[in-house]
Every structure is written in structure tokens, then in C-alpha cells.
Amino acid sequence: MLPVLVAAQHRAMPFTRLTDCGMDPADARRLLADTTAGIPWQDAATMIADVQLERARVSEAAGHRTTARQAYRFASGALMFAQMAYQSDTAEKRDLYARHTTATAALAPGVERVEITHRGGVLGGWLCLPPTGAAPATVIVWGGLSGWGAAYLPVADAYTARGLACLLAEGPGQGESRLRHGLYVDERVTEGFARFVDLVEADPRLGGAIGVQGISFGGLFAAHLAAADPRVGAVVVNGAPAAPTVPEFRTAREQMAAVVGTDDPDRVTEVMDALRFDPDKHRITCPLLLLHGGQDPLARYEDQEPFLRAADPAAATVRIWPDGEHTLYNHAAERDALTGDWFTDHLTGQSTPKG
């Protein structure tokens, strides 16, 4: 029997999620073993990251840049999960996420940091380009309450391998946008995610065809943006509630309060009520792909069904894995191949690269 906190961490961050979001499988096993043995989650994950960062340093000094990049990727993943030990925005969480950002930045030039001014702050993200350096279409991807930006580098790999560009967004309430610049989720959150569409349109290397993908709670934001912004040419929703409520899981409740930027439960409820996706009011006219895991404890199929009702039945596709975990951690490779091919089919040919 694990202590309550450790059991909750293992439930929220199982092996499949750790590897799906970029950790080395051996590191993921060690993290779960070390925390089972009593090492605090953040300490165990940080120690793993430090080993990978030293490996990267030694490899760089020896001229082995490919090995160094791999180690930086694994360190980035470990630090992403280290900061998840803190639900509220403590100094420790900010420091760990800043270290994660630094490790990810070491992947340049293959991964480019982007920043966009918005409402007195800065929204951040990571742009990944295909080998050609230009793309006929771009997919903007974001997460939800706890996994953001570079957590989805494996998704970007699947897209760039197919010739698409991928922009990993840290929107309002996420990543550095929240932890460093104080941008939170509110009734106008869609405007923040639309700023990433502006960025894609302004980059001459990127084609005009744009898709968006929201993972976990972020799927709600993706659906809202697809309904509100005609520039969105295709949308993927993966594991999102259409009518968000304050969840029963304590960690998820704390995460929701953090993304809204308040401990006032009435204000959190007010924002969630305003973000409810009503298919009678919000219509999705572009192609929609809805992904669902039959074993998802956070988003039932009925919770996502309103997104389908908002879309044109002729342009809406559903894919269900009966044994799928939340956001399909346990089917990551197949999931990313499916969405990569789907975006390619729906976005390429709509436009050509600019410039």
C-alpha cells in the first residue's frame, strides 16, 4: 500500500503517460520505483533530469551532438514531470519549469522558442519544422491543466516526419505563459490561443493551412477556437469535457484553480460555466476528429459527445480505443500516426508555403 500522496501521483502520472510525454522508459521505471521507495516525486524526477543533463554535457564536449540532443529531450521530460508534483504555483514549481524550458531550448535549432505579446504578458511556445524547413500546413498543439508545450514533442515528431510544421503552444494558464507572465484562463481564453494562429500566419516558412489539436482539458479550448475562428482548417479533440466542472480528484481541482489564477472556488466555477461548449451556440464548420479512450476516468464519451453535435456529421470522425487511458497514453504511437495522417489529408493541398 502506497501513501495517499504517492498513490495519487502514480495514478495521475503512470508509466504510459511518462513515456508518452517524453521520458526515457528506463527513467520512467526508475521514477516510479524511487517514489515507491519513499523518495519525494519532485526529488526523484529532478535527480533523473540531472543525470541526463550531465550525459548531455559530456556528449557535447565529445562532439556527440545527437546523443546530447537525446539526453536534453529526456531531461526536459523528467523536469516536466518534476514540476507536476506541485499543483499551485510555488517558487519550486516555477524553478523546475524554468529548468525544463532551458533544457528544451538546448534542442535548438531543431526546436525554436517563440513568444507572442498578449494582454500585457507573453505567450510562449515551441516551433518544430520538417526537414525541408518549410511546410504547406501547420498544426498547433496544446495540453490542458498540467502538461504543456514541450510535453508534446513526440507528437511534433510524428507531424514533422509527415512534412507538417508543429507549434507546441503554452496558452493562457499554461507553462511560462502562466508561471512567468501571469496569463490565466478566463472567459476570453480563446483569444489567447488565437494569437498562435496569428503567429503561424505571419511566418513565411509556414503554409496558410492551419489545424489545431487540444489534449485533455485543452481539447475544450481547441473546440472553442475552431468554432470561433474561420482560419482553423481542421481540429482534433482528445479527452476533453464539453461542460467543465470542478472535478472530484483533489489534484485536478487544485490544477483548475491554478490555471484560473485564484483560490476562490466561486470564481473557478464562474469561469468553468462560461467555458461550457454548447453545440446549439458553437458550431464547428471545419473537419473534426474526436479521440476517446474507453478507460478514461476524466472524460467519458458522453462528456465529449457535444463536440460531435456541433460539427457537420459528414466532416466528423470518431475513433475510440476501448482500453484507452486518458488521452490514449497507452496507444501513443498509433494515436499520433492517426492524427498525423488525418491532418495531412485535411490540410495539405489547401494552400502552399509562403515566400
User: Quick check: helix, strand or coil at residue 287?
Assistant: coil
Cell of 112: 525554436
pLDDT of 250:
74
Q: How high is the mean pLDDT of the chain?
A: 95
Per residue in 324-335, pLDDT (tens digit) is 999 999 999 999
Residue 352 has pLDDT above 60, yes or no: no
Is 84:146 a contact under the CB 8 Å cutoff?
Answer: yes
Is residue 351 over pLDDT 60?
no
The per-type count for the chain, helices as H runs and strands as E runs, is: 14, 8
Between CA 200 and CA 219 the distance in angstroms is 20
Residue 232 belongs to what H/E stretch?
strand 232-238
pLDDT bracket for residue 251 (50, 70, 90): confident
pLDDT interval class at 218 (50, 70, 90): very high
Of 200, 197, 199, 195, nearest in space to 183 by CA: 195
Angle formed at CA 265 by CA 86 and CA 117, multiple of 5 degrees: 65
Instruction: Give pTM, 2 decimals.
Output: 0.96
Exposure letters 159-178 (e unless 16+ CB within 10 A, then b): bbebbbbbbbbbbbbbbbbb
- List beta partners, residue 284: 311
Using CA atoms, how far apart are residues 284 and 165, in angstroms rounded to an integer? 23
Cβ density class 185-204: b for 16+ within 10 Å, e for less: bbeebbebbbbbbebbeebe
pLDDT of residue 247: 72
Question: pLDDT tens-digit profile of 281-297?
Answer: 999 999 999 999 999 99
Three-state DSSP state, 143: coil
Model pLDDT, residue 1: 84
Structural domains of the chain, ranges and CATH numbers in brackets:
1-107 (1.20.1440), 109-355 (3.40.50.1820)
Tens-place pLDDT, residues 126-136: 999 999 999 99
